[in-house]
Structure 1
Amino acid sequence: MEPILDSLPLARPNGCPFDPPRELTEIREQHPLVRMTYPDGHVGWLVTGYEQTRAVLADQRFSSRYELAHYPLPGMENVPELPPAPVGDMTGMDAPEHTRYRKLLTGKFTVRRMRLLTERVEQIAAEYLDRMERQGPDADLVQAFAHPIPAVTICELLGVPYEDRDSFQDQAAATTRVDLPEEERFAAYMALQDYVAQLVSAKRAEPTDDLLSDLTGSDLTDEELTGLGTFLLAAGLDTTANMLALGAFALLNNPAQLATLRDDPGIADQAVEELMRYLTIAHTGMRAALEDVEIGGQVIKAGESVTVSLQAANRDPARFADPDALDVTRHAAGHVGFGHGIHQCLGQQLARVEMRVAFPALVTRFPALRLAVPAGEVPLRPDHQNIYGVHRLPVTW
């Protein structure tokens, strides 16, 4: 009889903050698709193999609707059913609702349009590196560099007025701070949503050259625009900020790889894709089968939840040679760090621009950059959060 996992493995190996839980690796080698018990008692599936992960994510017989799935991470055991996605939250939608939003936004996030932002992102990165240099030689790289670059970029993209940006960024940061009580995070989220609602009204009355103003010309209601704006902010800020911070940590922990990028900034594209693969900060996804589906010789029955371990898939030796090594010269195309299928990250091109600019700028500006504390003392986000990363990254130079 095939084994049933008691729970989703979460504990990373001691001293290896960038590696997936060792148990995930062992499971993938033996059973890339295996039965698993969820925190609420539901018996569903865990997918760890690369091919099986892509197959699930590409198959629209698996739903992304939250209320149809069972939550694989601890913390929701006593919730009888997950609530539906809030208005504008594309992650928890299926077609045709998802298709409608996606079509409206796809033209706003094209490769060409995002590359046109490169010069502005370079200016933003240089501004914060200048500030860091003036205030140095010690800094918390999260506050000095990793958070403000995507925060300012998303503010400009959405059209947040300059005078509102500090409070706007503070509220956005508070919504994901695990050191705050849940009620404070919720209050920050509601305040942020209220602000976006006011911003939508202002853009309707007097459009400017930004994404929200563009969308006021669509058939979206004010409620939808508010929800979508809040979703884009959350999706575009927390993920990229954690990629910049954790990516810098990984490079500082691998001096030879950092030197390779510093000596040849032209490999930034490859380095970004490799860091996305190697770190996979959005490490776990969930789906629910709408009908019986066969994947990898196993039948997943209608109503069963499927958890996809993106971090395990991105370390699958069947797809990537020597997958546990960080190699910034690797051609890591095809990784699932941005997901796969119709829900593949809408803002991936924006994130790529920010990382392609930020990582080389950081390591060339501060060639002697190093951790200011032992690697084992860098405070990491809990593994049960959807987005992995660091709370603080003390550095010196």
Structure 2
Amino acid sequence: MTSNVITFPQERTCPYQSPEGYRRLWDQRPLARVVLYDGRVVWAVTGEAEARRLLRDARLSSDNTHPRYPALAARFADLKGTTLPLLAVDDPEHRRQRQWLTPYFGVRRIAALRETVQRVVDRHLDAMLCQGSPADLVSAFALPVSSTVICQLLGLPYADHDFFEERTRWLMREATAQQARDGYDELYAYLETLVDRKESQSKSRKGTGKEVGHGDYGLLDELVEGRGHSGGPDRDELVALALVLLIAGHESTAHSIATGVLMLLEHPRQLAALRADESLFPSAVEELLRYVSTAEGTVRVAVEDVETGGTVIRAGEGVVFPMAVLNHDPSAHPRPDEVDVRRADRRHLAFGFGVHQCLGQHLARLELEVALRTLLARLPGLRLAVPAAELSCTPGDAPFQGVTTLPVTW
């Protein structure tokens, strides 16, 4: 049954390009069959138009407590059924959770953070320059920038970044189910303590009339203070929301920054065009998001039969959306295999689509643009310190794809 289908997901040999094996999927649009690590055969949606329809279809569920919900790696199978707000719930619960957070991630509110993000980028770039050349752009710049920004937004102490970055790696990339479970449990316990502390601080502020300072006050504090209102998140929901926002807010953006820099360095004509015309940065960011497709495998399970593309997806069957394949659909993106920083195309699916479209997409765009703009302006001689072929990619089954280290010089 599985002899004529490819395995999914697969390892990337180039951090910013989809695996070579996925080329067979490009020839099977809009639907193909793929086999997961455990031998289960599921549907892969490979046509962009079909993906947009199906990502809006409530008959495809995000609920990871469903007994037939697919896991993309053995280490994630043990986490099936674990509370993951926003990501692994359906409406109306999803809508309720998203309503709590939408005001904090709107276009205007995120645009108002530009100066804050610029200061963060400048500070970490200053530190990297002080450290001297060569440097690892991931650990010295991309990861500190994304971690600092999400800490400031949520109200977490950046002093804890080593802890939560390491546990995130355990959860996202380690080989065993036990390591993934340990990463989840330790992150959850850390955030439980943090939320409890914020609750105590909130009561103290109310009791003394003390004005709220900047410090470690952020989105979580505002949600804590709003918990008494009807419909607000309870303690467990708030902890789980914090976990999802923390992981997605630093891991995915760090990969996008580092891998985006790599892609530009590997395409010198595009890099030169960007240096020559700063007005291209917004379109360049969209092209990087489309081409790299950091968030690779969106997963659903059919809760009813769904007819699409002349095929019936039966209730109980799993469905995956390989974004690196979808964002290279020539019917939606002409010349999809070419990098073109002038391509003014925001119709890619790098942030998903439908009700589960990434809540933090405006923040990710802002961080990516400011980071790239600043790096290229201040480091005109930026280049790889090792051959690109020597770079290592994150595991193919990791939720966020990219480069693990990026040695650069200038």
TM-score, length basis structure 1: 0.91
Map of 1:267 onto structure 2: 280
Map of 1:129 onto structure 2: 125
Q: CA separation of 1:365/1:297 partners in 2, compared to 1, >3 Å: closer, same or farther? A: same
1:106 corresponds to 2:86: no
Map of 1:5 onto structure 2: 5
Distance (whole Å) between structure 2 residues aligned to residue 362 and residue 136 of structure 1: 15
Match of 2:159 among 143, 166, 169: 166
Map of 2:236 onto structure 1: 223
**Deviation for aligned residue 1:244:** 0.7
1:204 corresponds to 2:199: yes
Distance (whole Å) between structure 1 residues aligned to residue 237 and residue 309 of structure 2: 39
Could you tell me which runs of 5 or more consecutive residues in structure 1 were left unpaired when the two chains were aligned.
none
**Deviation for aligned residue 1:190:** 3.0
Which moved further from structure 2: 36-45 or 341-350?
A: 36-45
Distance (whole Å) between structure 1 residues aligned to residue 92 and residue 174 of structure 2: 38
Map of 1:75 onto structure 2: 74
Q: CA separation of 1:256/1:344 partners in 2, compared to 1, >3 Å: closer, same or farther? A: same
Q: CA separation of 1:40/1:134 partners in 2, compared to 1, >3 Å: closer, same or farther? A: closer
Paired AA for residue 41 in structure 2: V
Distance (whole Å) between structure 2 residues aligned to residue 310 and residue 293 of structure 1: 21
Distance (whole Å) between structure 2 residues aligned to residue 8 and residue 181 of structure 1: 18
**Deviation for aligned residue 1:51:** 1.0
TM-score, length basis structure 2: 0.88
Q: CA separation of 1:224/1:29 partners in 2, compared to 1, >3 Å: closer, same or farther? A: same
Which moved further from structure 2: 178-187 or 25-34?
A: 178-187
The answer to whether the 8 Å contact 1:53/1:310 transfers is no
Paired AA for residue 187 in structure 2: L
**Deviation for aligned residue 1:72:** 5.7
Map of 2:205 onto structure 1: none
The answer to whether the 8 Å contact 2:30/2:45 transfers is yes
Q: CA separation of 1:47/1:157 partners in 2, compared to 1, >3 Å: closer, same or farther? A: same
Distance (whole Å) between structure 1 residues aligned to residue 321 and residue 2 of structure 2: 18
Residue deviations 1:153-183 (CA, integer Å, cap 9, x gap): 111111124xxx2323433333215468765
Which moved further from structure 2: 288-297 or 173-182?
A: 173-182
Map of 1:286 onto structure 2: 299
1:363 corresponds to 2:371: no
Distance (whole Å) between structure 2 residues aligned to residue 380 and residue 326 of structure 1: 20
Distance (whole Å) between structure 1 residues aligned to residue 137 and residue 377 of structure 2: 15
RMSD: 2.4
**Deviation for aligned residue 1:18:** 2.4
Match of 1:119 among 94, 115, 128: 115
Identity %: 40
Residue deviations 1:288-343 (CA, integer Å, cap 9, x gap): 11111111121111111111111100011111111111111111211000000111
Match of 1:18 among 16, 37, 40: 16
Kindly tell me the number of residue pairs found equivalent between the two proteins: 389
Paired AA for residue 389 in structure 1: G
1:334 corresponds to 2:327: no
The answer to whether the 8 Å contact 2:70/2:301 transfers is no
Could you tell me which runs of 5 or more consecutive residues in structure 2 were left unpaired when the two chains were aligned.
203-211
Distance (whole Å) between structure 2 residues aligned to residue 287 and residue 158 of structure 1: 28
Q: CA separation of 1:92/1:278 partners in 2, compared to 1, >3 Å: closer, same or farther? A: same
Map of 1:60 onto structure 2: 58
Map of 1:148 onto structure 2: 144
**Structure 1 SS opposite 2:44:** strand
Distance (whole Å) between structure 2 residues aligned to residue 186 and residue 8 of structure 1: 22
Match of 2:81 among 76, 84, 95: 84
Distance (whole Å) between structure 2 residues aligned to residue 148 and residue 9 of structure 1: 28
